Amino acid sequence: MVGKVKPRLPRGMRDILPQKMILRQYVIGVITQVFEQFGYEPLSTPAVELFDTLTGKYGPDADRMMYDVSRKGGKEKLALRYDLSVPLSRVMAMYPDLHKPFKRYQISPVWRGERPGKGRYREFHQCDVDVVGTDSMLADAEMLNIIYEVMTRLGFQEFLMKINDRKMLTGIGQFAGVPEELLGGLYRSIDKLERIGLDGVKDELRANAIPDEVIGKLLELLQVTGDDRDILAELRGRLAAYPIALEGIAELEEVLGYLENLGIPRERYEVDFSMVRGLGYYTGPIYETVVQEPRIGSIGGGGRYDELIGMFSDRSYPATGTSFGIERIIDVMEELNMFPPEVGTTISQVLVTVFDEAQVGASLQLTNELRRAGLNTDLYFENDPLGDQIRYALKKGVQFVVIVGPDEIAAGEVTVRNLSLKEQRTVEREVMADTIKDWEGCRER
């Protein structure tokens, strides 16, 4: 045993106290339900991976942000996982017998030593859903369908799924004559279109040593407007000489067709050639979900990555997937009061009070009955006045209080007080649980 330790958290880390955890569990519950209703299976990978598994997959800054967990005197160089896609790729390579297409979801924390800030933590959850082993555009459309279902069930109404295709971006680069080594800068500039406008992009491209002539051709393309289908048809003509672009156009047209079949409202998605996403391992359709009202920006995205698994295996598998960042979703839902009323501030629905020491046995039995009836039931432990016990329930947000004193015991009854309606009923003990469940406004859990 050592001296007193000042209780502190590491930089960028946080505790999630019960009231916030209840909101979090609600959001994770909705997402899990959608993932499972779409037939995706749960998978778990360890928090600790070999450093060699992770390094070189995420781009230049990532290695610096990884948590090194190598053990003293250990032979292995270890790191905390940085996302869930690379571990999935390792899994696919390690267990070649997993039958394909392999549909899995994983909802787990990842760790990144970024500079902490408002709403930005060094440990945060990713909710990933992926399918490995199919190159069908049905799978890509399914990802957008999943995003639509999750957002709608969480109560978001004004959101937009922006869709692009990595092959289109490559084709556009070829068309504009951008040398291979400048493509990265080109994409990063295009990605800023919405924020800095056409002139801003033009300036950036110049600063990136992209010739004026190329810039002209490029901006002409980016300014083609109209209905998604019309734009794609127009580009099919202009980019006819670039097979990779035509492939991208065909992929996007196929995905759009499926979204129409699925009845996803037209205003919830659009093709946006300026949406790039950190390109890394993407090879086909990519997408990003932006919440427009309120203007909170991207809350997740994903895309097709047909080459990543090949980094671990002699065989490559086509794959596509999407990821939800729940931290921002939860913050926004809380700010906008979007949680259904039954979510509440406590998981407890009933508090059983203790009248006095002689009546403890009766109270204990009632708690058991209520719990077995499926009601979340808190028992008051101390021998305090009834007023204190009720104040405890009020403070915690528990809706019902059960009181059982000598009179009630003698009569085979209990008194149930509904704190939100400020009503009270004395009922036969047998109907106690049903009385509570049927009471107007009883929150289901």
Q: Which of residues 93-152 bind a copy of itself (CB under 8 A)?
A: 93-95, 98-99, 101, 103-104, 109, 111, 113, 122-123, 131, 134, 136, 138-139, 141-142, 145, 149
Query: Locate tokens 């009854």: which residue?
Result: 413
Pairing of strands 319-325, 285-291: unpaired
Regarding 206 and contact with a copy of itself (CB under 8 A), the answer is: no
Q: Which is nearer to a copy of itself, 204 or 306 (CB)?
A: 306
Regarding 2 and contact with a copy of itself (CB under 8 A), the answer is: yes
Burial pattern 310-347, b for ≥16 Cβ within 10 A else e, equals: eebeeeebbbbbbbbbbbbbbebbeeeebbeeebbebe
Residue among 85, 33, 52 nearest 319 (CA): 85
84, 108 contact by CB (below 8 A): yes
DSSP for 116-136, written as a single string: PBTTB-SEEEEEEEEEES---
Which of 207, 315, 342, 368 contacts a copy of itself by CB under 8 A?
368
Helix (H) or strand (E) holding 389: helix 386-396
Which of 364, 406, 411, 421 contacts a copy of itself by CB under 8 A?
364
Which of 376, 415, 420, 426 contacts a copy of itself by CB under 8 A?
376
Site for a copy of itself in 305-324 (CB under 8 A): 311-314
Regarding 443 and contact with a copy of itself (CB under 8 A), the answer is: no
Q: Which is nearer to a copy of itself, 47 or 183 (CB)?
A: 47
Q: What would the two tokens of residue 346 be? A: 């406590």
Residues paired with 324 in a beta bridge: 127, 300
**Euclidean distance between CA atoms 332 and 339, whole angstroms:** 10
Query: Which span (5-13, 215-223, 420-428, 433-441) binds a copy of itself, by CB under 8 A?
Result: 5-13
Which of 15, 61, 180, 181 contacts a copy of itself by CB under 8 A?
15
Q: Which is nearer to a copy of itself, 22 or 219 (CB)?
A: 22
Which of 49, 204, 272, 408 contacts a copy of itself by CB under 8 A?
49
∠ CA(278), CA(282), CA(286), 5° rounding? 80
**Euclidean distance between CA atoms 388 and 376, whole angstroms:** 20
Regarding 392 and contact with a copy of itself (CB under 8 A), the answer is: yes
Site for a copy of itself in 250-309 (CB under 8 A): 258, 261-263
CB-CB neighbours of 267 under 10 Å: 9
Residue among 321, 268, 270 nearest 151 (CA): 268
Which of 29, 42, 216, 441 contacts a copy of itself by CB under 8 A?
42
Q: Which is nearer to a copy of itself, 196 or 347 (CB)?
A: 347
Site for a copy of itself in 336-355 (CB under 8 A): 346-348, 351, 354
